[in-house]
Structure 1
């Protein structure tokens, strides 16, 4: 820890509750911006690839690439945060996402698929950082309020995440005026949003939540018990369980979400219509977070994990059964998909935060998010291949059934207790 960080921590150590309120406000502001940034890749990434390559079978590749890029970024952001604090780690991640957005725009202008794929890999840093920010909200939260702190940060993503996809049509028009292909318009917004999110964090995330939490633990000599707990088999099991919950929900969500715009496009729907459906989906991913956080803290982690599996199953069944020309039913299916993912992410994050000591918290969280990103990359890549081979309904139904694997994990945990 450098001297500036130490001084910053010491200044605020007497009133961590006040510092937590300030930190949450800054994180909320940055998440609103970053939510708009992450929406671009989800909404038009697959369509860009399909347009350049002329095939649906590789339309899942962009999602796979930016989620694979997010895996590398998760490690990097986690390590920077572990060594220097959340502020430099998160700011660097968002700035990298902005650079990736600029690369996607250049690839679209040049009609260069190789550059597109490289840029999407770099763009994935923004997605990873958006997720890593939730941990920063929980660093100073007391155990009984951690899920609610996580949810406060997540819900802030809703505004940008919902607005972003619905800017697809006007952003495309603006892009054409600038000599940029229509589909790349959202990446203009994405690059600006990520750059502004990085600026907000770099200037105002003070005190740094992770460094302050460490300082408080050292001052009160309370970190000893936490570190001892981290050595137990129960603690290690908690990390594995929390990671499993988030990995499975990410895999199912990304696979179905990635191919929905392509499925709609193939049934004659406009970019604006698919943008509306994805906007509803992203809203459902983040908007219920305050309620989810309260439910997790009130009723326990495992009950919400079970709710996640059941909700994802319902989403898969509805997406598979919905007629291709029904925007309303597809929107409802994607809303349930987002809600199931939200249940899994909030409960899984709470499990991880409960069991990882401050001394290794950011590094471990980064490694967990790598696993989540790899699961997303797998889902994104497999989704295009599966839809080309069997169709969208089979993909959706398979994802829904797969989510039921969460229920045995819940049962096994309940049995051990």
Structure 2
């Protein structure tokens, strides 16, 4: 049997535990996406401020990416991931308290801390690939990501009942999803702390040198650059358009239920196609899927830009495409990076790359509110699609290696 495709005996259990944690954490992740911008708009009274929550929790995510990766590198994925989710839960609790006390300062600090949950949710994909053979890395990453779908799609559709719960506690309705995030992130932390044994990264380091423990011989700095650039661009574009969609919808008469549905479809697009994306990455190579990501994000920007403001259907299609394009880019980019970076430096490099991704998301979130306030939501959508198209020439200029 080809040693390149032998499954490590611990891999199945590790993926099962990661899947359970991702299902829980997905519900916590959805809170900031669904109502974060609306909460800031209500508390600060300005559309231009609507991008601040996304910017703040993505800046917090950037710092957390480095810290979680550093702890993972020193103590293993179990400690790093569990600590990251627990920090995200503390941040979500802070948001609830800030909303109840109408404290903008506390809101901003809490959102910054809440970003640790988002960062940890993404870092978990690397844990799925630690013991995966190169030909299975795309599918291993996709298994972890697709698990997020359950909680992340359920979360936005619980806006109304969690809002009612918040009201019963004398907290603003929009803080409801963050109450869910407190419990979801805490539960994910407990699952990982108790059950992620053996630790995938520490186990991989203990193995003899081989295809699982080393990078791809064809991987080099150029491929690392392509993988990093891909994930930075998709995060910038996705966050910018996603952040302002709930604000755009509310400004044109859509209710919270409609907004929650559109965001739920978007989040489904981000995670549900992961098995397909992973199979495409492993079957046809990383770079063709990178190009597909750019083309899909362009389509998303065009549909969102041309959609009538009162059309829930077209906005749903646009946000679904936005999630799908992001998914293509994240899985192909992650596989490229894992191929190119040797095990001994993998956690450190992955943390730095995820920090760059989070900074890109913060930039997109911050800029989106100002773009819409000074221009329009269609202008933002068109600009995002054009930026994403840069992934196609990036792939065309690839080095002559097999990936």
| TM bin (shorter chain) | over 0.9
Kept in 1: contact 2:7–2:133 (CA 8 A) = no
**Residue in structure 2 matching 1:275, options 254, 260, 265:** 260
Distance in 2 (alpha carbons) for counterparts of 1:109 and 1:226: 50
Aligned pair partner of 2:47 in 33, 50, 56: 56
Structure 1 residue 18: Cα displacement? 2.6
Hey, what's the Cα distance between the residues in 2 that align with 1:415 and 1:385?
A: 41
The equivalent position to 1:250 in structure 2, one of 230, 235, 238, is 235
Unaligned stretches of 5+ in structure 2?
1-5
Pick the structure with more helix per residue: 1
Offset at 1:226? 3.5
Q: If the length of structure 1 is used for normalisation, what is the TM-score? A: 0.93
Root-mean-square deviation (CA, aligned residues, Å) is 1.6
Q: 1:226 to 1:22 in 2, by over 3 A?
A: closer
Provide the C-alpha distance between the structure 1 equivalents of 2:226 and 2:80, rounded to a whole number of angstroms: 26
Residues 45 and 136 of structure 1: CA distance in aligned 2, closer, same or farther (over 3 Å): same
1:17-416 aligned at under 5 Å gives the runs 17-216=8-207, 220-222=208-210, 226=214, 235-413=220-398
Check conservation: 2:30, 2:152, Cα contact below 8 A: yes
Shift of residue 415, structure 1, vs aligned partner: 5.9
SS at match of 1:413: coil
Report the Cα distance in structure 2 between the residues aligned to 1:224 and 1:110, rounded to whole angstroms: 51
Q: Which runs of structure 2 are paired with 1:10-21 in the superposition (5 Å)?
A: 17-21=8-12
Q: Which runs of 4+ in 1 moved over 3 A?
A: 221-229, 414-417
Distance 2:183 2:124 in 1: 19
- Give distance in 2, aligned partners of 1:325 and 1:369: 36
CA distance in 2, matches of 1:155, 1:193: 17
Q: Provide the rounded CA distance (Å) in 2 between the counterparts of 1:102 and 1:169.
A: 19
Asked if 2 retains the 8 angstrom alpha-carbon contact of 1:223 and 1:358, the reply is: no
**Residues 268, 191 of structure 1: CA spacing in aligned structure 2 closer, same or farther, 3 A cutoff?**
same
Alpha carbons 2:204, 2:213 under 8 Å: kept: no
Deviation at 1:416, TM superposition (A): 7.3
Name the CA distance, whole Å, in 2 between partners of 1:372 and 1:290: 22
Q: Distance in 2 between matches of 1:411 and 1:222?
A: 31
Describe the superposition over 1:247-283 as per-residue Cα deviations: whole angstroms up to 9, x where unpaired. Answer: 0000000000000000000001111111110000000
CA deviation string 1:17-75 (max 9, x = no partner): 33100000000000000000000001000000000011001100100000000000000
Is the contact made by 2:131 and 2:212 (CA closer than 8 Å) also made in structure 1? no
Say how many residue pairs are matched: 397
Q: Given the superposition, is the C-alpha separation of residues 400 and 271 from structure 1 closer, same or farther in structure 2, using an over 3 Å criterion? A: same
